[in-house]
Chain A
Amino acid sequence: MTDLIDILISASFWAAVIRIASPLILATMGELICERAGILNLGIEGIMVVGAFTGWLAVYQGMPLWGGVAVAMAAGMLFGLLHATLTIPFGLSQHVVGLGVTLLATSTSSFAYRLALPEVTSPPKIVPFQPLDVPVFSDIPFLGEVLFTQTAFTWFAFTVAVLVSLVLFRTPLGLAIRAAGENPSAVEAQGLSVTGLRMGAVIVGSGLMAMGGAFLTLSAFSSFFFEMVNGRGWICVALVVFGAWMPGKAALGAILFAAFDALQIRLQQTPLGADLPYQVFLMAPYVLSILALILMSRRAEVPAALMTAYNKGER
């Protein structure tokens, strides 16, 4: 018990929480935008892999770190375009296409990695984003260590969450995106293009997912390996539900989730960790996600037109 309290009051723990939450927040915002527009994007898992890989590869080939982020985003948008084309104008099953995109994106990354580095046995490293040491602020006890030793990429992730919230709820564009997810015919009747809005949302959302993936290689770890995304995409899909499709709540959900994740890593080092098999701790994120879904099952306000294809002027 005292172990637990020690962990919870340590600044390094909360700094880790913020760090772990960052890629989840980026990818969750991406999924949230897609779902707000009415499209379930199950390509998220694969798109995160693509982002992790392309971002890393670009930096490994000599690009600056933010250049890597941009490359990841572009690659994610490309797969987003594929998903959007198949599910929106063609109206194909969002389940099947999403899984197909995940399989394609994942295997493309593996294929390209092997092509680019046929010989290596251990994954090569890059120099990742370094903590931003904000003068004065970082000297504040506790908060300074939690907030002001993070990398620029983390700041970026949290800024994105704020921006997504502002755009969705404070601008005509956000209203149009939300309306596309609530009732596409209302959007069409007001002279806007449902196809355009939805495709834009999926493409931009996929770009964010890929940046979430890139965070893993460019900020969290410093190399790319095949299993690194490891279900984080699916967890983000659950986080969107848990956050009731609200950016703020979803971001809070990601932080809560990250806290449990950071906690389980630390609990493994305690006497409790010696008693329990480590797999129990590793299972925690997935079990938590399922619990979150169960908890929100009755309450969530699902976008009314989520997963319904829209065929203009359908009779």
Chain B
Amino acid sequence: MTDKNAQAEEFVLRLDGISKRFGALTANSGISLGLRRGEVIALLGENGAGKTTLMNILFGHYVADEGTVEVFGEPLPPGNPRAALAAGVGMVHQHFTLADNLSVIDNITLGTESLWSRGNGRAAARARIKALSRDFGLAVHPDARVGSLSVGERQRVEILKALYRDARILILDEPTAVLTPQETDALFDTLRRAIAAGLSIIFISHKLHEVIAIADRCIVLRHGKVVGEVDTHSTDRAKLASMMVGGEIALPEAEARAPGPALLRLNHVSTRAKGTATGLRQVTLDLCSGQIIGLAGVSGNGQAALADLVSGLVRPDQGSIEIGGRQPIVWSPREALRHRIARIPEDRHKTGTISDFNLTENAVLEGYSCPPFSRRGWMNWRAAESFAKDIIAKYDVRCQGPAQRIRLLSGGNMQKLILGRVLEPTPKIILANQPVRGLDVGAIAYVHSRLIAARDAGAAVLLISEDLDEIQSLSDVIHVMSEGRLSPGFARGSMTAAELGLWMAGQGFEGGEDAA
């Protein structure tokens, strides 16, 4: 920081006036920013603030409607990932862009040699990858099949892909979402080595403490616009947070209540791993009436398996499920519904709704086979439509009417319809899997208040979330999942985030070796 002017001219990357619209939605609006050599910028913002869109424009996945990108003083041709790569931009995507059935070497060298050449052979590539692994602390076996790697290892492959191409600018999109706190530390170590080697980094996140830990400067996006830029050394989490959401974050403080009887019990349940998804290992859990059980953990540690189990999509391979004191003979989604389990799925587009169906059809997707929606195999569309109208009114679903196709609804309104569908039959048990992911602040508060109201009415709620703040503010009891195992339950307020983080990293489990 000796000569400000010299620094300013050393912008390795400049974005100028970037705007991008998708139909009616403005994802980016007049965004400008500059990245200096050896600097880490954090791009902070809520889901849907436009961070990922901006980076996809920079990388050439999208073409901006307006604005320019300059790398090392040269304008970058739009819509061309190859040009971005050639200019030294490397991107670590939030959803890894790796081919599972190919080896680490294949994934890294893909596209680095002329397609019409014979290739330089694997020996040279292997040696180069090993050297990079050593220099940047990215241990991974070059010949392993990517499908056999852990999530953390895959991220290392993604970073290696960029380094192998001599990237000078590294963009990481929500890199810590899939990491334990310990793996996050290792990632930060890698990033510091990269900075020391002269790289510059853009780090996208919505986790404030990480931003403060790694970034020099922080640029806050809201609704597609830059709303602030601060030096991270002179700010704190509260200030950043209020900049990010445009006001104080109001997480509801649900009052603790005495639990009622257990409505659903899992006794030492194990399930097989499905592809790359972790299975459950000896999970024992009671869901009690009038209680919110929060399930914390790094994604990919068996939460999906637990959700599938409670939804009825998978049966236990070992152990048993007990509902209302009895073990169901068959276990299926329909059986789960019959036992009045409300299921809010993780992915509302792919599993929660049928996008080509209208609101009425989606409203009765789970209940269509019972009266009043059908009798003896004949649908009663009048009853279905009035049910849909009830939900629209009661849950404030903004739409043109029950005959509108659901794919035209916003995420929040889609989620409200799902809420109405599952909560209207007054469920005994509620499975809420990432219920507020991708929603705006208003919708988040609404969903949370509904869950608390259902709990107060006596339902047992299982809340699965990757957001520790959400878990801590809503749950009566918190469990942590790691590698398919379930921690004991911790009463609200009895554990700090750091302590939960250790459990998330796999420490403390019975007979459990430390994951780090």
Contacts and interface: CB of A to CB of B under 8 A. Distances in A.
Contacts of A315: 22
Contact of A182 (B22, B56, B101, B112): B101
Contacts of A176: 110-111, 115
B513 interface: no
Nearest to B63: A313
Contacts of A179: 99, 102, 106-107, 110
A7 to B, nearest CB: 41
A104 to B, nearest CB: 28
A183 B100 contact: yes
A200 to B, nearest CB: 9
A192 B81 CA distance: 8
Interface in A182-211: 182-183, 185-192
B62 interface: yes
Interface in B445-488: none
A189 B93 contact: yes
Interface in A128-171: 170-171
Contact of B110 (A186, A303, A304): A186
A183 B98 contact: yes
Given A175-B106, A313-B61, A192 B99 contact: no
B111 A191 contact: yes
B113 interface: yes
B449 to A, nearest CB: 29
Contact of B113 (A170, A172, A303): A172
Given A189-B91, A191-B81, A304 B111 contact: no
B118 interface: yes
Interface in B51-94: 56, 61-62, 81-86, 91, 93
Contacts of A95: none
Nearest to A185: B97
B117 interface: yes
Contacts of A186: 97-99, 107, 110
A192 B84 CA distance: 12
Given A172-B113, A182-B100, A188 B61 contact: yes
Contacts of A183: 97-100
B109 interface: yes
A83 interface: no
Nearest to A173: B115
Contacts of A301: 101
Contacts of B62: 313
A189 B118 contact: no
A19 interface: no
Contacts of A189: 81, 91, 93, 97, 161
Interface in B115-130: 115-119
Interface in B307-326: none
Nearest to B83: A191
A182 B102 contact: yes
Contact of A188 (B81, B98, B115, B119): B81
A192 B116 contact: no
B496 interface: no
- Determine the interface band of chain A, counting residues with CB < 8 A from chain B: 20 to 34
- Size class of the B contact interface (CB-based, 8 Å): 20 to 34
B110 A192 contact: yes
B97 A304 contact: no
Nearest to A197: B115
A183 B99 CA distance: 5
A304 B81 contact: no
A72 B101 CA distance: 35
A311 to B, nearest CB: 11
B61 A173 contact: no
A194 B189 CA distance: 34
A240 to B, nearest CB: 16
Contacts of B112: 172, 190
A192 B86 CA distance: 12
B114 interface: yes
A114 interface: no
Contact of B114 (A172, A187, A303, A313): A172
A89 to B, nearest CB: 14
Contacts of B83: 191
A175 B106 CA distance: 7
Contacts of A312: 61
Given A171-B119, A191-B81, A304 B100 contact: yes
A185 B118 CA distance: 24
A191 B87 CA distance: 12
Contacts of B85: 190-191
A178 interface: yes
Contacts of B116: 173
Contacts of B111: 172, 176, 187, 190-192
B165 to A, nearest CB: 8
Contacts of B56: 313
Interface in A217-247: none
A176 B112 CA distance: 10
Nearest to B100: A304
Contacts of A303: 101
Contacts of A188: 61, 81, 97
B349 to A, nearest CB: 10
A182 B103 CA distance: 12
Contacts of B106: 175, 179
B109 A175 contact: yes
Q: Which of B91, B93, B95, B101 has the most CB of A within 10 A?
A: B101
13 contacts: A170-B119, A171-B115, A172-B111, A175-B110, A176-B110, A179-B102, A179-B110, A182-B100, A189-B93, A189-B161, A190-B81, A191-B111, A304-B100
Given A189-B161, A301-B101, 16 more contacts: A170-B118, A170-B119, A172-B109, A172-B119, A173-B115, A173-B116, A175-B102, A176-B111, A178-B102, A179-B102, A182-B99, A186-B97, A192-B115, A304-B99, A313-B62, A315-B22
Interface of A: 170-173, 175-176, 178-179, 182-183, 185-192, 301, 303-304, 312-313, 315
- Pairs of residues from A and B, 7 with the lowest C-beta to C-beta distance, nearest first: A190-B111, A191-B82, A182-B99, A189-B97, A183-B99, A313-B61, A172-B113
